[in-house]
Amino acid sequence: MATSPILRPNPATLRRRPARAKQTSLTLFPTAARHGNCELPSGTSAPPPVPDRSRKPATELVGIARLAASSPLAEAKRGTKYFLLPVKSILNECHSERVPFRWTVNPYRGCEFGCKYCYARYTHEYMELDGADFESKIYVKQDAGPLAQRDLGREKIWGEHIAIGTATDPYQPAELEFGATRTILEKMVEREGLSISITTKSNQVMRDIELLRRISARSSLTIHMTVTTMRTRLARLLEPRAPRPDLRLAAVRELRDAGINVGVNAMPILPKLTDREEDLDALVRASRDAGAQWIAANVVFLMPASLKLFMAFLEEKFPKRAKQYRDWFSSHGNAPENYRKEIAERVERLRRKYGLGSRPERPEAQSWHSPQLQLAWENGEQTCQR
């Protein structure tokens, strides 16, 4: 007889953790978008100083840094190196009260899109790599499918939201080579009653549209397409290897036509670059026209690893803007509160103008159904296995 906890009936009676922020998608909440992917060493809340690896023997490295140093090179393309990273799990438990969900999934560490403002660059520092390596050294998590299957069968994920793509894009170019995201989704489609969100800025998500339809039929699923500006040339400067904004919005339309819940993340909004009323109006209008159900927005947050590279980018491409960013962000990562309030009000006016929500509606709670129990019924066994 099976003894797995996922075969218990009436999962609603299971113990629950103490109440915390409502669980939905990562990118709908400012603090979530700013504070990373919860793949941090236990007990830490900020990245350590970047060590000088050139003078530190690999034998002295520990944890994720040691795993990264020993990861074999799988491939090198477009000036990017891909490494196979052994991991113990695919679902990462997030203990921070600053984010509104408990579980995250990032099939890759690092992201080839190379967005100049990317807040997640600091995550490479935990592997004792420089933040500048974030787009040129991509770590592919090994055995993503089997690990996801095991993790999804654990009782403690019942009723909890799973956010995919909280620090690195699950549909970055590496996905074409390694398919880690797809193998995880293939395990999710076998489950029923999950709560899942996917955040991406790639139209490559359309490759998996049939999988997403099947997941959506059995679980709560929302797709969050990030579009920061409708100005193609500016987008190419800010997000060098990401698909064009119009391609992302075309994917929004196809997802909606397929009956999948999808919205747009205008994240981040960059002061004096993407924050003009007419630019935001064009973005919100285009999102509405593409069928987006909501639009979420947030002003850029620059951690030290991101600020260093972003300031170099500004000095080269937008030198007249560099001083303001230096004044605003050098001592802390946030723009001034009055500016953030002004932008929030501007976006809210545009939401009302175009009839968009600020976040997806929270679905009614769904019961968890074990695929093993379902299989038992299909095989003609008429008793509940405990």
Could you give the domains of the chain?
20-56+65-361 (3.20.20.70)
Q: Return the pLDDT at 217.
A: 96
Cβ proximity of 38 and 106 under 8 Å: no
| pLDDT greater at residue 339 or residue 120 | 339
Q: What is the 3-state secondary structure (H, E, C) of 207-260?
A: HHHHHHHHHHHHCEEEEEEECCCCCHHHHHHHCCCCCCHHHHHHHHHHHHHCCC
Q: Return the pLDDT at 385.
A: 29
Q: Return the pLDDT at 158.
A: 83
SS3 for 295? strand
Q: Return the pLDDT at 78.
A: 74
Q: Return the pLDDT at 128.
A: 77
Between CA 167 and CA 199 the distance in angstroms is 9
Cβ proximity of 302 and 329 under 8 Å: yes
Question: In which band, very low, low, confident or very high, does the pLDDT at 61 lie, cut at 50, 70 and 90?
Answer: low
Nearest to 349 by CA among 337, 358, 362: 358
pTM: 0.80
Q: How far is CA 385 from CA 2, 121, 155, 188, in A?
A: 6, 47, 16, 22
The two three-digit tokens of residue 26, written as one number? 């990562």
- The Cβ of residue 323 has, within 10 Å, a number of other Cβ atoms equal to 10
Question: In which band, very low, low, confident or very high, does the pLDDT at 254 lie, cut at 50, 70 and 90?
Answer: very high
| pLDDT greater at residue 363 or residue 148 | 148
Nearest to 152 by CA among 107, 205, 190: 190
Largest CA distance in the chain: 73
Spell out the alpha helix ranges (H) of 290-354. 304-317, 319-329, 337-354
Cβ proximity of 96 and 38 under 8 Å: yes
Between CA 191 and CA 152 the distance in angstroms is 8
Average pLDDT over residues 153-180: 92
- The Cβ of residue 357 has, within 10 Å, a number of other Cβ atoms equal to 13
Percent of the chain with pLDDT over 70: 73
The two three-digit tokens of residue 195, written as one number? 């709560």
Average pLDDT over residues 150-167: 90
Is the predicted pLDDT of residue 272 greater than 90, yes or no?
Answer: yes
The two three-digit tokens of residue 38, written as one number? 């919860």
CB neighbours of 328 closer than 8 A, spacing ≥ 6?
271, 335, 336, 339
Percent of the chain with pLDDT over 90: 60
Between CA 238 and CA 117 the distance in angstroms is 7
